[in-house]
Structure 1
Amino acid sequence: MAIKVHPSFAIHAGEWLKTEIVEAHGVSINDLAEAFGVSRQSVSAVLNGRAALTADMAIRFEKAFGVKAETLLRMHSRYELAKAREHEADLVVKRLIAA
């Protein structure tokens, strides 16, 4: 049986990375983008919750800070599912197979 976590505990992985990893290490977005070999805009969008954390970006964070990409992707997946569940009642879907 899976443990249900209240949606309020779901946090965007990028926002968590920003506060708990990037800022905690005193790294600027410009320096991070340069180290990752990506644009400042792409790093900023992830860290500020405007873009999803991709597997590629998760691996970059793993290489830079040691936090496992799998952990970050699970965190982000839970966040996205919690956000979708907020609007679950709005989804109209016809059941195809009887339960």
Structure 2
Amino acid sequence: MPMHNPPHPGEIIREECLKPLDLTITGAAEGLGIHRKNLSRILNGHAGVSPDMAVRLARAFGSTPETWLKLQMAYDLSRAREKEENIRVKQFVSA
């Protein structure tokens, strides 16, 4: 069953990964091998978790890339469903 209003993965990274380890954004970005600005964009919900980032997060925090990508997909799908009534498509039916 899909989650209603799932959190952005950045919120999970901040609350479940960085805070317990007392990691700063700068320290976490260095450890992940990325620019601070890129991590900040994810943490603030302005960017999503890419497959590359999912691999980095999994290696750094002991989860799996699939977990991070599923969190991102759940978030993205929830946002799309919020706008579903505005999406106009033609339904194709096979004969």
Number of residue equivalences: 95
- Structure 2: distance between partners of 1:66 and 1:4: 24
Question: AA paired with 2:50?
Answer: T
Q: Superposed, which structure 2 residues align to 1:37-56 within 5 Å?
A: 37-56=33-52
- Of 72, 77, 91, the residue aligned with 1:95 is 91
Question: Which residue of structure 2 lines up, in the alignment, with residue 83 of structure 1?
Answer: 79
After superposition, the CA RMSD in angstroms is 1.5
Change (3 A) 1:27 1:4: closer
TM-score by length of 2: 0.91
User: Can you give the 5+ residue segments of structure 2 that lack an aligned partner in the other structure?
Assistant: none
**TM superposition shift of 1:98:** 5.1
- Structure 1: distance between partners of 2:63 and 2:24: 18
TM-score by length of 1: 0.87
Matched, 1:73 2:69: yes
Which stretches of structure 1, 4 residues or longer, exceed 4 Å deviation after superposition?
A: none
**TM superposition shift of 1:51:** 0.3
